[in-house]
């Protein structure tokens, strides 16, 4: 059966743990300059309905490292944009390539695509979640602080796609996630329900950050929400992760952000560029974690 990766919950706890370990091995191998080309002759198609820096570069470079080829497809230049159905596009492309990465406006589009694809489909961000980001984030947390089970992370800001994937990670890996959002910006109720006791919701950043092992945030206006930006800047006042908020967490707490970051909005420059921030490792680990994912889905 074709395995796709549409949400983090598509992996079992063991599979996720193994992927994180494999990503760490691939990182060491890459640093040593060792060649490892298990995907020689394989092709990856990448459809991006929205902008990307990290996701596109990491998949394209990762596929090259593994011996395969990646092709970037903009829907604007495809027949999709002239009305060819997603289902037909999936049937056609999946007869020609070995896996398909999609960054889409709507999660339902990726699900429809996957339902008609013969090959694995990878969610490279949708309005619902961003599972590839969490592979890298969990790798980064483990690298810096060891096993994450039993620890506490605080999500400060918008209950968005990345927040949803953090909630799924908490459930799978056994850490607790405190989510602090302004009223009306909480995460999806079904995803929260599914996570049970792994997640708690609130509206006070300081309470969420109290003695936390890690603080994580993301932009207040995701791609597609540009028109709400002015209102959101108002509604999220008081949710900036700054040095005072970091001081509420444990002294060795890490700061994470999937990037791109908007300095002095969701995070102060002092925190983003400060000693507790691991955002550049997080970004680099997109490469290693997605190579582990490609190996897992394609080998």
Q: Does 135 bind ligand CP (CB under 6 A)?
A: no
Measured CA to CA, the distance from residue 202 to residue 185 in angstroms comes to 11
Q: What number of chain residues touch ligand NVA (CB under 6 A)? A: 9
Measured CA to CA, the distance from residue 214 to residue 141 in angstroms comes to 9
Binding region for ligand NVA (CB under 6 A) out of 8-16, 20-28, 185-193, 219-227:
219-227
Q: Is residue 119 within 8 Å of 11, Cβ to Cβ?
A: no
Q: Is residue 265 within 8 Å of 233, Cβ to Cβ?
A: yes
Which is catalytic among the residues 54, 130, 176, 288? 130
Q: Does 49 bind ligand NVA (CB under 6 A)?
A: no
Q: Which of 94, 139, 219, 276 binds ligand NVA (CB under 6 A)?
A: 219
Q: Which residue, 93 or 216, is less far from ligand NVA as judged by CB?
A: 216
Measured CA to CA, the distance from residue 279 to residue 255 in angstroms comes to 7
Q: Based on the residue annotation, tell me whether 132 is a catalytic residue of this protein.
A: no
Q: Choose among ligand NVA, ligand CP, none what residue 240 binds, the Cβ cut-off being 5 to 8 Å by kind.
A: none
Binding region for ligand CP (CB under 6 A) out of 49-57, 111-119, 138-146, 198-206:
49-57
Angle at the Cα of 167 from the Cα atoms of 164 and 171, rounded to 5 degrees: 145
Q: Does 209 bind ligand NVA (CB under 6 A)?
A: no
Q: Is residue 296 within 8 Å of 39, Cβ to Cβ?
A: no
Q: Does 169 bind ligand CP (CB under 6 A)?
A: no
What distance, in Å, lies between the first and last C-alpha atoms of the chain? Answer: 13
Q: Does 221 bind ligand CP (CB under 6 A)?
A: no
Q: Does 218 bind ligand NVA (CB under 6 A)?
A: yes
Q: Does 266 bind ligand NVA (CB under 6 A)?
A: no
Residue nearest to ligand NVA (CB): 222
Q: Is residue 181 within 8 Å of 159, Cβ to Cβ?
A: yes
Q: Does 290 bind ligand CP (CB under 6 A)?
A: no
The residues, any chain, with a CB within 8 Å of residue 271's CB and separated by 6 or more, are 241, 242, 243, 245, 246, 255, 277
Q: Does 101 bind ligand NVA (CB under 6 A)?
A: no
Helix (H) or strand (E) run with residue 15 in it? helix 13-32
Q: Does 7 bind ligand CP (CB under 6 A)?
A: no
Pick from 168, 164, 179: which is nearest to 125 by CA?
A: 164
Q: Is residue 102 within 8 Å of 95, Cβ to Cβ?
A: no
Q: Choose among ligand NVA, ligand CP, none what residue 53 binds, the Cβ cut-off being 5 to 8 Å by kind.
A: ligand CP
Q: Which residue, 52 or 217, is less far from ligand CP as judged by CB?
A: 52
Q: Is residue 153 within 8 Å of 215, Cβ to Cβ?
A: yes
Q: Based on the residue annotation, tell me whether 258 is a catalytic residue of this protein.
A: yes
Which is catalytic among the residues 22, 65, 265, 286? 286
Q: Which residue, 213 or 266, is less far from ligand NVA as judged by CB?
A: 266
Measured CA to CA, the distance from residue 140 to residue 143 in angstroms comes to 5
User: Catalytic residues, which ones?
Assistant: 103, 130, 133, 218, 258, 286
Q: Which residues of the chain form contacts with ligand NVA (CB under 6 A)?
A: 125, 160-162, 218-219, 222-223, 258
């Amino acid at each position: 059966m074709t395995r796709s990766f549409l949400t983090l919950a598509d992996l079992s706890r063991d599979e996720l743990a193994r992927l994180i370990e494999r990503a760490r091995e691939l990182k060491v191998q890459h640093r040593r300059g060792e060649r490892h080309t298990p995907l020689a002759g394989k092709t990856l198609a990448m459809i991006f309905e929205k902008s990307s820096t990290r996701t596109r570069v990491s998949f394209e470079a990762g596929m090259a490292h593994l011996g395969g080829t990646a092709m970037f497809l903009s829907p604007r230049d495809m027949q999709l944009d002239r009305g060819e159905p997603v289902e037909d596009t999936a049937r056609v492309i999946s007869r020609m390539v070995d896996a398909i990465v999609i960054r889409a406006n709507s999660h339902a589009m990726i699900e429809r695509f996957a339902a008609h694809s013969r090959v694995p489909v990878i969610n490279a961000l949708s309005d619902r979640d961003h599972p590839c980001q969490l592979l890298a984030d969990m790798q980064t947390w483990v690298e810096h602080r060891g096993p994450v089970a039993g620890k506490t992370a605080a999500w400060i800001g918008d209950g968005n796609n990345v927040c949803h994937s953090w909630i799924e990670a908490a459930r799978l890996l056994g850490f607790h996630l405190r989510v602090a959002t302004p009223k009306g910006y909480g995460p999806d109720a079904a995803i929260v329900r599914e996570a049970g006791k792994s997640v708690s919701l609130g509206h006070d950043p300081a309470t969420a950050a109290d003695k936390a092992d890690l603080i994580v945030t993301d932009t207040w206006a995701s791609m597609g929400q540009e028109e709400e930006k002015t209102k959101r800047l108002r509604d999220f006042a008081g949710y900036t992760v700054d040095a005072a908020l970091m001081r509420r967490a444990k002294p060795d707490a890490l700061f994470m952000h999937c990037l791109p970051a908007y300095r002095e909005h969701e995070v102060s420059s002092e925190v983003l560029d400060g000693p507790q921030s691991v955002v550049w490792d997080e970004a680099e680990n997109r490469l290693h974690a997605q190579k582990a994912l490609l190996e897992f889905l394609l080998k």
